[in-house]
Amino acid sequence: MQKTILAFLLNAFALTAFSQQPARPSVNLIPIPVSLQTDPGIFTLPASVLIEAPERADLVPTLESLTSHLSIPTGSAVVLRMKPSPAATIRLILSKSPDTALGAEGYRLTVTPDKITIRAAQPAGLFYGVQTLLQLFPKEIECKEPRKGVRWQAPCVTIMDRPRFSWRGLMLDVSRHFFTKAEVKSFIDEMARYKYNLLHLHLTDDEGWRVEIKSLPRLTERGAWNVRRTGSFGTFQPPAPDEPRNNGGFYTQDDIRELVKYAKERFVDILPEIDCPGHSLAAIASYPELSCSPGSENYRVNSGEKVMVWPKGGGFYGLVDNTLCPANEKVYPFLDKVFTELAALFPFGYIHVGGDECARNFWEKSDAIKQLMQKEGLKSLDEVQSYFEKRVEKIVESKGKKVIGWDEILEGGLAPNAVVMSWRGIKGGIQAARLGHEVVMSPTTFVYLDYMQGDAIIEPPVYATLRLKTVYSFEPVPDSVDARLVKGGQANLWTEQVYNTRHLQYMIWPRALAVAECLWSPKDKKDWSSFARRTEANFGRMDIEQVKYARSMFDPIFTARKDSSVAGGDSLRVELSTEVEGLDIHYSFDNSNPDSFYPLYSMPLSIPKEAIMLKVITCRGGQPIGRQLDMPVKELRKRAGLSTGE
């Protein structure tokens, strides 16, 4: 009996001692590496940290970031040494011999209980290895001030990692709403930590010209400014002639040089876009002679009033002629000046020339266009735009750059060396690849981050909804094309309805996390449940960084259907679901606000006869996790195709 009691006490003591051991830090890396092995043990950051690194100018910003992260929040004393040291806590090593498994951006990261080693073939690999290392530490590593009571530990791991694609892009539209140089830098910081390497700046459109061209000063004197409007873009009344045009801004050439340098220090290239021949109202308002329509001298930069009309049956047309005229010989010297100065500012090897949504209804009425078609043997307006694009390509190539454009540049015949950015689904990319052209996949169906993240009853209204799980299903390489021609992919944020940087962040995150993993990680490593868990863990980091993000992944999803089992066919049944697994859905029909004590959804709902509102909330462990959505029954009936009684 005494032996039994003694054994019980020993077991109890052992369990107590085990429970007092520090929990192993979880691994919530985004994007998921090519190879991740968790090893026994935990690395604890010591009070004194010695970092060994190569002495290279292109590593200085990386090392400054690592040093500040490991010293400011932790209180550790961090010393940087540019010579080999056996006592080093953290070693950053550039391999002297080629490592074909890593390429230019890959790295190997090893964390043991005593030290950390990051190896790479190129400085970019060391930078990405550092981003992964920081994600292994507690989220408080992102603090800008000392934090007490945190165990500064990282799990022991062995990681080999490299990107799947070389083109991992985010597009920021700075034309519709201008974002300052500081805001663009913040955007670069946020994207670089998740291993994006390409910032596409949409610099010109109907609402503003955002880059200084010294030889064409009116582009920024006049073209960068409009009348401030707040509300629903595309519905505003045209400004009165005397309203002040003081809303907007532009980047000086020194600003651009500073942004390019800042991005390059984080191994991000900047792709400039000059959108033409459509979306060119800011240019025409500055230089009316570039149009081929009478009255263009009275044009003004758009302030959010309707410029284009999109009939329900398809197609579109312009209310004003916002196109550069392909038949106007003044256009090409103008573009030569623009691209000459642009090429000198941006070292990246490509210039984006737009080409999308060109309203041609004014071309149809233009005598100059008709004469051009006759002279050049052009049989359609598609071929007129192709004529323009081919001349633009020659100008751009004369500056030592390659042309990339939206998939409309395919229409009428593709310029010989152009790269196609496929946005209207993936079919344009497939077509271009079959013609032997390189492609960047950027389809609205998966990566348009200006779309709503959840239900329209709660999200800022835009054209459509694009949920996180759908974004995560993005696959840049269609089965039917040569994968070698797909350079990668890109997510786009158009900013018609994005007025400030906080809303910009809300629209980008967490969907840009999903795109980052689609573009960096191997296809067979993708797993939605794992990604959702890791995304939720990264929300804590974003909270500390004060980056705004959407929690729409936790929201309930409504599916409204006709109830065919009820005679008359006018009854409604509602199905509820969630993107994230393991959530409980609670609801009410009595206009009160549900919580975890309210009815638990388990099967499709029939709507009580007099109910006017279905209120729904998701919970985990009895605590609300999603937003409460208040869905009018009339809206559900509308979605089901039933009469709303109006």
* Catalytic residue IDs: 205, 279, 357
Closest by Cα among 20, 142, 30 to 530: 30
* HSE, side-chain direction, 13 A CA sphere, residue 266: 24
Query: Does residue 598 contact residue 588 with C-beta atoms inside 8 Å?
Result: yes
Are the C-beta atoms of residues 209 and 286 closer than 8 Å to each other?
A: yes
d(CA 502, CA 482): 40
Residue 54 Cα distances to 193, 268, 338, angstroms: 21, 21, 40
Which is nearest to 51 in space by CA: 116, 97, 113?
Answer: 116
Phi, psi of 368 (to 5 degrees): -65, -40
- According to DSSP, the residues that pair with 271 across neighbouring strands are 200
Number of C-alpha atoms within 13 angstroms, CB side, residue 617? 17
For the chain, report the end-to-end CA distance as a whole number of angstroms.
82
The CA distance from 455 to 615, in Å, is: 13
Structure tokens at 33: 């590496």
Q: Residue 337: which H helix or E strand, with range?
A: helix 331-345
- Written as one string, the DSSP assignment of 63-126 is HHHHHHHHHTTT--EEEEESS--TT-SEEEEE-SS--TTTTTT-EEEEE-SS-EEEEESSHHHH
Amino acid at 50: L
- Are 509 and 548 in contact by the 8 Å Cβ rule? The answer is yes
Is the C-alpha dihedral spanning 401, 402, 407, 412 positive or negative?
positive
C-alpha dist (Å) from residue 487 to 184, 403, 571: 24, 14, 50
The full length of the chain comes to 646
CA dist., res. 101 & res. 110, Å (int): 16
Strand ranges across the sheet with 153-161: 35-44, 153-161, 107-111, 116-120, 90-94, 48-52, 77-81
Question: In 10 A of CB 132, how many CB atoms?
Answer: 22
CA distance 280 to 207: 9
* Contact of 111 with 135, CB cutoff 8 Å: no
Spatial distance between the Cα atoms of 367 and 384, rounded to a whole number of angstroms: 13
Give helix 253-265 / helix 181-192 axis angle, nearest 10°. Answer: 20
Exposed e or buried b per residue across 560-576, where buried means at least 16 C-beta atoms within 10 angstroms of its C-beta: bbebeeeeeeebbbbeb
Q: Is the peptide bond before 443 cis (omega within 30 degrees of 0)?
A: no
Q: Is 626 left (phi over 0), alpha (psi -120 to 50) or beta?
A: beta
Helix (H) or strand (E) holding 475: none
> Which one-letter DSSP state was computed for residue 297?
G
How far is 152 from 211, CA to CA, in rounded Å?
44
